[in-house]
Structure 1
């Protein structure tokens, strides 16, 4: 039952917002009593925290699978981007904005966990690119991986990139290409250009 509550809460939180959804809403959507929810979660804040870190765990597991099956770091980053976007495609509100505003302590802990996961993944990706001659050999791995994380976080800030003006996929696609063009060698740039052209052709058909 606990996992079902987490799953339904995630669906409601991501479609209606953390602030708007009440424990009564979750209970009614599941056809259970609110008492049943409180048997597993002491309050809504605890439920929000569990749901938030459950989502992070799922995304982290997906990234690990992509890393393990990676052909090269350029396609790897695009695969991660598509995985995250598809996982969050049902999101109707900005979870980052709502967490930061209404649950700042959870938001801060989430940022730390996200950074730990993404920093490690990006560092490995950069090193692979350098070893295969796709990325410049002189890049500062520690600096670039932190810069990339900061950028990925920043483009999700709706106060800077309002959803009415910027499509989510466009933001991630544009930032990823911006990032890669700054660090690729000529070999890497040729691969990037071929890959993006191939993707455009596939999407057109």
Structure 2
């Protein structure tokens, strides 16, 4: 199926949920027979897999574009990624809630792929920061990338976090500062102070 088809199906799943939206609904939305749809996708699980993969590719492509544009590794980490923030917030959509409940295997596979690919982006940033003298060399970049991913993605699902008391933006900023302070050298920490001073003038 083409990109426009997948984009529309993504919107339908986000609006209606993974369980609620049926293959009949999708076929009717596109004015096609269910037989035609099943010739492309043997079942809804296969279509859900393609939908999640498509959305993940969008997020990773945008992250990589910003990596290429912003040379300074620390500045790159403080550039707000609208697509990643949307992905993190999507953990609380009806699509994700129904995926977790009715299609846990598909959800877990998607999150593992998301973790792997997001960690790759962070590893690239860490390697660049090490070359620039901003990041330490004595830690496992891949594991730290996964830790940061888990921190950012846990806002809606953590049983230890009261989201009525802690705002998402504040949580994300604190998670980023926690991560950055853990990986920076003294040179990096000096640069970090300059950036945070600009963002939070007294």
Q: Same fold (TM over 0.5)?
A: yes
Alpha-carbon distance between aligned partners in 2 of 1:132 and 1:200, rounded to the nearest angstrom? 25
- Shift of residue 60, structure 1, vs aligned partner: 1.6
Contact 2:13 2:21 survives alignment (8 Å): yes
Q: Structure 1 pair 86/110, CA: closer, same or farther in 2 (3 Å)?
A: closer
Change (3 A) 1:141 1:87: closer
Distance in 1, Cα, partners of 2:88 & 2:32 = 26
Alignment deviations for residues 172-195 of structure 1 (CA, whole Å, 9 cap, x no partner):
332112211222234323333333
Moved more, 45-54 or 186-195: 186-195
Superimposed CA distance per residue, residues 84-119 of structure 1 (whole angstroms, 9 cap, x where no aligned partner): 125677886165544332212212322332232122
Cα distance change on mapping 1:108 and 1:36 into 2, 3 Å = same
Give 5+ residue unaligned stretches, structure 2: none
Root-mean-square deviation (Å): 3.2
State TM-score, norm by structure 2.
0.77
**SS of residue matched to 2:20:** coil
CA distance in 1, matches of 2:140, 2:118: 16
- Say whether the 8 Å CA contact 1:134–1:188 is kept in structure 2: yes
CA distance in 2, matches of 1:140, 1:45: 35
1:105-164 per-position Cα deviation (integer Å, ceiling 9, x unaligned): 212322332232122222222222222222234334344233223323433426554665
> C-alpha separation between the residues in 1 aligned to 2:169 and 2:9?
25
**Counterparts of 2:63 and 2:137, CA distance in 1:** 25
Write out per-residue CA displacement over residues 59-87 of structure 1, whole angstroms, 9 at most, x where no aligned residue.
12122222222322222223364331256
In structure 2, the partner of 1:60 is 60
Which residue of 2 is the match for residue 102 of structure 1?
102
Distance in 1 (CA, whole Å) between partners of 2:185 and 2:56 is 32
Unaligned runs of 5+ in 1: none
Q: Identify if the C-alpha distance between structure 1 residues 89 and 150 changes in structure 2 by more than 3 Å, giving closer, same or farther.
A: closer
SS of corresponding position for 2:120: helix
Structure 2 residue 85 is matched with structure 1 residue 85: yes
